[in-house]
Amino acid sequence: MSNNRLFLILACFSFVVTGCATTEPDYEYTAFREADPRSVLIVPAVNRSVQVDAPDFFLATITRPAAERGYYVYPVHMVKRLLEDDGLSDADMVHSADTVRLAELFGADSVLYVSIEQWNAKYMFLSTTVTVEFDYLLKDGKTGEELWRSREARVYTPSSSSTGNPIADLIAGAVTAAATKAAPNYVPLSTQANQEAVTEAHHGVPAGPYHADYKKDLDLF
Amino acid sequence: MIKCILLLCIACGLITGCATGSMYEWGDYEKDLYLYYKNPDNLDEYMDALQEIVSDSEKADKVPPGMYAEFGYILYEQGRIADAKEYFQKEKDRWPESSVFMDMAIGNLTESAPERQPDSKSVAQQE
């Protein structure tokens, strides 16, 4: 079965958020507002989870939320490849490199570092629960100082809408669980996690210069 | 049942960007890039996918930031240097924030041909 067809089948089993734990206080945005970054350099994510391809999911799904939030986002794949060519062949090395020099190289106002702290799928007979935790750290490209930080665990379960027939639902649920275990489609889940982290009031990122709410959301960020 | 459908619609909106206020057109960008990471041999497929995203989003004047450059970079990896330069220039023209990076990319293009050939060598150099 071709990858595309497999992917299409898996796409039917989309993930829906059931809840997220926000235990952190509101973020303090003074430094962010002062720096007023227009552009964000997003570098490959460090992986501290058991999901081996979590960094691929992350990198493929972070650009859209950040760009739609109103920032210029450098092309993540091109950036990743150029960093590799420069000898920064893994994410830990990139994260250890000097932020200011990195930002200067690309002409970026800010650099976003993400580490994937958790990515656990629990397979139960009728459903799969996935817990993801991304630690986001945005640093000023000119000073290396922190502009924004967010770290939240989010829990997702695949949706399986009820048909009204309990036996059919049972089978559908088992099929979903089996399919997600076989080759989980984490692209929508990862997109949603990034989207929520970036847009959540008092925890996400203020609207950027290309967004209609730019500098109009001072009550939320 | 209704709640489930509602949640699905919201999720769909978030995921596909069909929610109101989407500034750019993305096509299947996330899926395309992820599949390329899973199958680094399929450079042609990824290039075609990016071509489609660029063409479609250009028609609506909703090309996302970085998209011209991503496409330009893949063209470069395919040895299509003149085309790569065209798209790096488009990125620079459209997004002033990209000018330092695009100037560097264009400058490097004129210095040398790609170090790696598509397929065999690039796969060997992937993890």
Buried residues in A60-99 as b, exposed as e (16+ CB within 10 A) = bbbbbbbbbbbbbbbbbbbbbbbbbeeebeebeebbebeb
Mean pLDDT of B22-35: 96
Q: What is the pLDDT of residue B120?
A: 43
Residue to substitute from A1, A12, A74, interface B, most B β-carbons within 10 A: A74
Sort strands A110-123 and A128-140 into parallel, antiparallel or unpaired.
Answer: antiparallel
Cα A197 to Cα A195: distance, rounded to the nearest angstrom: 6
* Contact status of A74 with chain B (Cβ, < 8 Å): yes
Q: How many CB pairs under 8 A join A and B?
A: 127
A21 pLDDT tier (thresholds 50, 70, 90): low
A168 touches chain B (CB under 8 A): no
Say if B34 is an interface residue toward chain A (CB within 8 Å).
yes
State mean pLDDT over B52-66. 97
SS3 label, residue B110: helix
Check residue A19 and give its pLDDT. Answer: 53
**What integer pLDDT is reported at residue A64 of this predicted model?**
97
**How buried is residue B100: exposed, middle or buried, by Cβ count under 10 Å (0-12/13-18/19+)?**
middle
Other CB atoms within 10 Å distance of the CB of residue B41: 13
CA distances for A97 relative to A43, A87, A117, A202, angstroms: 11, 11, 20, 30
Predicted TM-score of the model (pTM): 0.81
Partners of residue A94 on adjacent β-strands:
none
Q: Give the mean model confidence (pLDDT) for residues A160-187.
A: 64
Residues B38, A14: C-beta atoms closer than 8 Å = no
Q: Is pLDDT at B2 greater than 90 in this prediction?
A: no
Which residues, other chains included, contact A131 with Cβ-Cβ below 8 Å and sequence gap of 6+? Answer: A118, A119, A120, A122, A153, A154, A155, A156
Least confidently predicted of A89-93, A149-153, B95-99 = A149-153
